[in-house]
Structure 1
Amino acid sequence: MVTNHHQFFFILCIGFYYLIDKTEESIRPRYMETIEESLNDTTHVLSAIVEEEIKKNPNDRFRFKTVVESLFRDPFLNVRKRTFEAKIYSLLKTNADIQMYVTDAKGIVIFDSERFREGLDYSKYNDVYLTLQGKYGVRSSKMFDTEKEGALFIASPIRYQKEIIGVLTVIKPKIGVIPFIEEAKNKFWRISLLVASSIAVVFSILAYISFRPIIRLSQYVISLRNQERKPFPKLGIKELNDLGKEVDQLVLELEGKKYVESYVQTLTHEIKSPLSSILASVELIESHPKEMSRLTKTIEAEAKRIQSLIDQLLELSSLEGKNSIQLDDTIDLIALLEEVIHRFEIEWERKSLQVNTMFPKVPVIIKGNHNYLRMAIENIFRNSIEFANPKDQIRIQLQVLENSKIKLVILDEGQSIPDYALSKVTEKFFSLPRPRDNRKSSGLGLSIVKEICDLHQANLTIRNLEPKGVEVEIQF
C-alpha cells in the first residue's frame, strides 16, 4: 500500500507537470491573439483616416498615392527618430517597431513606411488578397530571410463609396513580443513551482491522516467486488464513511454511464440529416432567391426537427432494456413514407437518384409509435441515399400480405454489403465506409432500426440483391 501511495504521488506530479507544461505552451498563442486584436483596431483606425481624407476631396481618390504619402510619410520618418523609455512591467522599450504599407486596388504597393516594398505586387499575399475580396486579411510570415520569428501582417480595406480602392496593412515584428512572452513564461513557472510545492506538502499531510482509513475502505471495496458481505468498517473520517456507504449505488450509476455515451453518439448521428438539409437549403437560397420562402420554411422545419430528435433520443434511452412500449398511435404508413421521402428530397435530388414507390391504393394503417417508426424509416432511407451511386434507383414498396401482415421494403442499387458484415450491420458502432468519401458513420443507425422494430414486434431483414444493391424489409 505504501508503494501504491508513492506511485499515486508520482503520477500526480507527472499530471501536474503535464498540465502546467500545456498551459505554458498556450501563453505564446494567447499573446499573439492579443497583439493581433490590437493591430486589427490600429489598421482600421488608419484606414478610416485615409477614407476621411478622401471624403474631403473626392478627386483625391485618383491621386491615392499622394494622399497616403502626405498622411503617413512624415509621421513614420518622425517616429523612427524618436527614442523613449517605456517601462512595461519589468521590460524596457526604447523604440517603436511597427511598420505599414498601402496597396492600390490591384495589390501594388504604393506606400511603404520602410520604402523597400514600394512598387511590388502583393496581390497574392493573404493580407492583401483576402482584404480585396472583402474578407479578414491576416498572415504571419517572415519579412527577411534572416529572421527567425517573422511578423504579423493585419490588413483592412480603404473604401470610397463602398468600393475597395486600396488595402492598408500594419506589421508587427514578433521579435518585439518575444521578451514579454518569455517573461510571462518565467513568471508562470515560478508560480507553478510554488503551487506544486504547496500541493506536495498538503498532500503529504492529508495522505498521512487518511492512509489507514483508506486501507480499510480499499479492503471493503475488494470484498464488494468479490461479492462478500462484510460489515462496513469504522473509518473515522466522515467523507470516507459516506463514500463507502454509497459504493453500491455508485456501481449501479457507473453501469448507466455506457447508456449516456451511446446516446451522445446517437444524437450526433441523427442530427446529421437535418443539418444536411439546412445547409443544402442555404446553398439553394444563394442560387435560387425566388425559392427563399420555401427554403426558409425547410430550414425552420429542420431546426425544429433537431430539437425534436433530442427529445426523442432522451425518451428512447429510457426504453432500453424494456420488453414493450405503448403502441397507441394510429399510423398511416403511406403518409409517413411520403413524409420521409419529401424530407430527404434535396439530398436524393442532389445525387440525381430516382425514388420509385409502389403503394396500395388504399391507406395502410397500423398501431405503433409514430416518432420511433419514422426514425427507423429515416435511418434506412438515409443509408440507401448514402450508399447509392448517382442516377441509381431507390424503390420503396408497401404490401399487405394474405395473412394481414404488412411488408415494407426499401431497396437501392448501390453497393452490396460484404458477406462478413451482413450479420453485424445492426450491431452498435459497426459501420461501413461510404462509397463517395470512404467516411464511416457512428454505426448507430441500423442498431436503432433493429431496436425500434423489436419494440413494434416487427421482423427486420437485410439482404443483398443480385447483381448489386441492398434490400431492407420490415414485416409488421
Structure 2
Amino acid sequence: MKRRSSISLRLTVWFSTAFVLGFLVFGVAMYLELSYSLAAGRDKTLLHRANRAVTLLTNCHVGSPLCVQRFDDFAAATPEGNLIHVFDVDGKRLYPVVQDPSDTFPWPSGVTPQDRLFSKVKYQNAIFRMLSEPVTIGTVHYRIVVGGQLNDNRVLVNQFKHGLLWTAPILLIFSAAIGFFLSTRALRPVARLIASVRLISIGNLSRRLPALHSGDELEALTETCNEMLARLETAVGQITRFTADASHELRSPISYIYTQSEYALKNLPLEEESAECFSQILRECEEATALLNDMLTLARCDSGHSGMTFTRTNLKGILDDVYLRAAPLAKSKQQSLTLEVDRHEPTWIMGDPPSLRRLFWILLDNAIKYTPIDGEISIRLRTGGSEACVDIKDNGIGIPQDALSNIFGRFYRVDRARTLAEGSGLGLSIAKWISDIHRGDLSVKSSENIGSIFQISFGTTNAG
C-alpha cells in the first residue's frame, strides 16, 4: 500500500524550499552587487586621487622645490598618500623625490602605457588595487600610479558572505514554522470536511456537509460532494425500497409453497422419494424465508429506521437466554459450550433485548457451524469501569487474515466456509449493524485452524 503524504507537510516543504531558494538567490545577487560596488568605489577613489595629483602638477613647475613641497603636503594629507607616485615616460620616479629605503613595494617599471590601466598587486599578505594613469602636462608625458588596499573590502565581503551562510538555516527553520502554520490554517476547512464525510454512512445519507461560503475551490468541492450525496441517497433509497418490496412480495408465495408442502407431508400418502422431495422443498423455503428476513432487516438498516426500543437491559440475562437456546444445538454436535461471568450481579446496558439476542445468536450460531465435532465454544462476560465486554471464542476453522477486513461485508463468505455450512452471508453484517446501533464495538481476532474470538463491548449504565 502506498504511503500517504500529508498535504500540509508538502506545502511546508515547498514553501520553505521556495523561501530559502529565493533568499539564496537574493543573497548571491547582493553579494555580487556588494563586491562590484566596493570594487567600483575603490577604482573611483583611485581616479579621484590621480586627478587631484594631475591638477597639482599642472599648477606648478614639475621638478621645482615648490612643486615637490606641494606634492609632499598633498601625499601627507591624502589617505594612503604614500601609494601615490609619479613617473616620467622612461619609468623614472619623479615623486616622491626621496624614496624610503625600506620600501620594497612592487611599483611598475618600464615604458609608460598609453591607456589607463587597473591591476592588482599582492604585497606582504595584502592585496592592492593599482591605477596607472598616463597624463600629458604641456608637451611632457607622465605616468601617475595610485594604489589602495583592498583588505577592508575583502573583510566586508567575507562578513556579508558569512552572514548569509549563518542566516540561511535560521530562515529555513523560520520559513518551515511559518509554512506549517499557514498550511495548517489553510487546510483546517479540509480537515473539518474530512471529519464530516467520515460521519456519513449508508444509514445516514440524508446528512450533508456544512456549507463553507468561502467563495473558493473548497466551497465548490463541498457543493459537489453534497450533490453526489443526494444522488447516492436517491439511488440507495430506490434499492432499499426495491429490496423491501421484493422481500414482502416473495414471502407470500414462499409461505404458500411451505404450507402446501407441509400439508402434503402430513396428510397425503406419499412414496419415500416424493416425501424426500417435499422435505427438501420445506428446507429450501425455511432458508429462503430466513434470507428474506435478513434482507428486510438490512433494508430497515439502510433506511435509517431500526424499529428498536431501547430500555435498561440486563446483559447477563440476554446471554443466559442465548446460551440456553444454543446449548442443545452444540450438544447435538458433541461440542462443549460454556458461559462465564465475572460477577453474578446484573450488568445493565441501554439496548433493545430482541436485537441483542439476535446479535449474540448470530455469533454463537456461526461458532457452532464452523467448529468441528468435540470442539470448544465459550461465552465470557467481563465488566470493568463503565464498560462491559462479551467474548465468544471457539477453536474452529478460523478466518484467513486476508479475509478479516471483509468479514462484516454483506454476502461475504470465506470460500472455505461455503463448503462447510449453509447461509446467506448476511449474518455478520446484521450483527455489526446491531452493534453499531447500540454504540458497541464489534471486532474479531482469528487464526486459521486455531479458532476465532469475537469481542463486543458496550457502555454500562446504573441499575437504579
TM category, shorter: 0.3 to 0.5
User: With structure 1 as the length reference, what TM-score do the two structures score?
Assistant: 0.35
Larger Rg: 2
Higher relative contact order (CA 8 A, sep 6+): 2
